[in-house]
Chain A
Amino acid sequence: MKKLRNQTDSLVQETLEGYALAHKDVIQLVDGTHIITRRDCGKKVKFLMGNGAGHEPAVIGWVGPGLFDANVVGEVFTAPSFDKILEAIEFLHRDGSPVLLAVQNHAGDVLNANMAYAEAIMKGIPVKKLLFYDDIATAPKGMESERRGIGGMLFYTKIVGAFLEQGGGIDEAVQLFEQVRDHTRTFSVGFTRCTHPVTGLDIMALPENEIEMGVGTHGEGSGSNRIPMPSSQDLAKLVSDMLIEDLPYQSGDEILLFVNGLGSTTCMELSIYYKDLCRYLESRGITVYAGCCDECLTTQELGGVSVSFCKVDDNCKRLWDAPCKSGLLTK
């Protein structure tokens, strides 16, 4: 394995230190923790997310004004332990602010978040928990809450983040989150393997010229759903049709579009694909109000791309357009 690193047991610590240095005008690493927090943050409902490392620049890249107030990071591909999540809740609550904890639906994240949440409630901290799921490959329609949370998280990060930045209350934020979640769908496709940065083992080895439909955030497949590598236009149609049918999105809807590279997908490929998705959606009568096309929520150098749609109303559009500043997204 050729990866720039020092010791394997300090990979996460060093990643957080470096990212915080590179974006020191916006964020800092809290001493002795794996909590990345924004520099200037007054009293407000604090927005927190916990997740495993190895998916950078997300989620640390979405910490800043108008987005998350803090992100607590676990080991590589491993949810942070409940006491680390609790530590982050207590850190954000030290000025008395309530805390809104976002959780992606993955077994480890949910387990540890539930335990931290229960402990925080017992300590008298006003805290609410949000569970996000959007990956249509991981459970059938009708079992939405069984699905895993992946790239569509950008939508609630931005929209709920903006709402809280403008002084929004915690209960309204929960409602807004549910609205965004229930209008968001994501589908992910894997092209090429990546290497676990600690063990050096391969993740998702695929035959040449085949792609994995419905790949998870750790390169795991959803089934034996492999197809020959299609053109960008064909993949745009295939993936859009699945997403459209699932919600369903209808002619006349306005959506946000997020095309997310999984680690080694070039800007050239992402741009071509973004354009093809826009064209195809247009042909189906769906308007792309705005979007994002970048490598955000990655799995090391995995090749592939996830596509997320979120149906929006005027309120969500306004919040999407509101100012924000972070390592990954600035408006």
Chain B
Amino acid sequence: MTLNQNDVREILLAVCDRVIEKESWFCRLDSVVGDGDHGVTMTRGFKAMREATRGEMSVKELLETAGAALGASMGGAIGPIYGVMLKSMGMKADTKPLTARKLAEMLEQSRSMVQVVANVQEGQKTIYDAFSPAVTAFAAEAEASNSIPAAAERAAEAAKQGADATMDMTAKKGRARFLGERSKGHIDAGAASFSVISETISSWIKNKDMAVSK
């Protein structure tokens, strides 16, 4: 299985729908340690992304346009992070359909750019605690099998585990860090939204793969 620009567009639309569906849950998670508007910010960003990516585009253009739209419309700390995440994947894309190994390369690039821009590490109770393990898991599976459905599934599992693990962490970044020990016992909203996105992508790919094999 490979992914072309139509697949990437459909994945982005599926993610957008799912993010809108989860808006109030993201807000509730954020209200424990933040100001309770993560869902609002996500919905605003992904709706803007949906508008910006209408029309014929290559995979590279799609990802770069989607990233730019997220960065511009979301603001806050999360806007540049999601924005750079997609934009830097696009920068590594070429005109050939995407294989698992190519996607792994794009994700590695994305991880290093997010790290530079947000100056973030694992264990600080942020989105990076879901994102980084997902990239690692995706790359390992891509290396082993070069299968997109398998790699996406491993990534979604790792993202979920990573997000759940933020429950016991003390925040070191962003607003939540000022809660100190009180930030424990709650999942980080950014890590949760990334986990939901990973799960959505993995399901879409699994369905597509099953439809194609039939």
Give chain A's interface residues, CB within 8 Å of chain B: 9, 52, 74-84, 106-108, 111-112, 115, 137-138, 148, 196, 198-199, 201-203, 214, 216, 218-224
Report the 6 A-B pairs with minimum CB-CB distance, sorted nearest first.
Answer: A108-B76, A108-B77, A201-B36, A107-B77, A78-B76, A218-B35
Contact between B35 and A224, CB atoms less than 8 A apart: no
Q: Name the residue on A nearest B78 (C-beta).
A: A108
Q: Name the residue on B nearest A202 (C-beta).
A: B31
Chain A hits for B175, CB < 8 A: 106-107, 216, 218, 220
Secondary structure of the A contact surface, majority rule? loop
Contact between B178 and A216, CB atoms less than 8 A apart: yes
Q: Determine if B44 is an interface residue (Cβ-Cβ < 8 Å).
A: yes
A138 to B173, CA, bound (A): 12
Contact between B75 and A81, CB atoms less than 8 A apart: yes
Known: A107-B175, A196-B36. Contact between A75 and B31, CB under 8 A?
no
Contact between A75 and B35, CB atoms less than 8 A apart: no
A214 to B35, CA, bound (A): 16
Chain A hits for B37, CB < 8 A: 76-78, 196, 198-199
State which of B7-15, B89-97, B179-187 sits at the interface with chain A: B179-187
Known: A221-B182, A223-B180. Contact between A196 and B117, CB under 8 A?
no
**A111: contacting residue among B31, B35, B118, B180, CB under 8 A:** B118
Q: Determine if B40 is an interface residue (Cβ-Cβ < 8 Å).
A: yes
Please give the distance in Å from B200's CB to the nearest CB on chain A.
Answer: 23
Known: A107-B173, A111-B118, A221-B178. Contact between A80 and B33, CB under 8 A?
no
Q: Name the residue on A nearest B126 (C-beta).
A: A107
Chain B hits for A106, CB < 8 A: 175
Chain A hits for B193, CB < 8 A: none
Known: A75-B75, A81-B79. Contact between A115 and B117, CB under 8 A?
yes
Contact between A220 and B180, CB atoms less than 8 A apart: no
Contact between A220 and B117, CB atoms less than 8 A apart: no
A196 to B175, CA, bound (A): 16
Chain B hits for A9, CB < 8 A: 44
**B178: contacting residue among A77, A82, A199, A220, CB under 8 A:** A220
Contact between A201 and B179, CB atoms less than 8 A apart: no
Contact between A196 and B71, CB atoms less than 8 A apart: no
Contact between A220 and B179, CB atoms less than 8 A apart: yes
Known: A74-B75, A84-B72. Contact between A220 and B41, CB under 8 A?
no
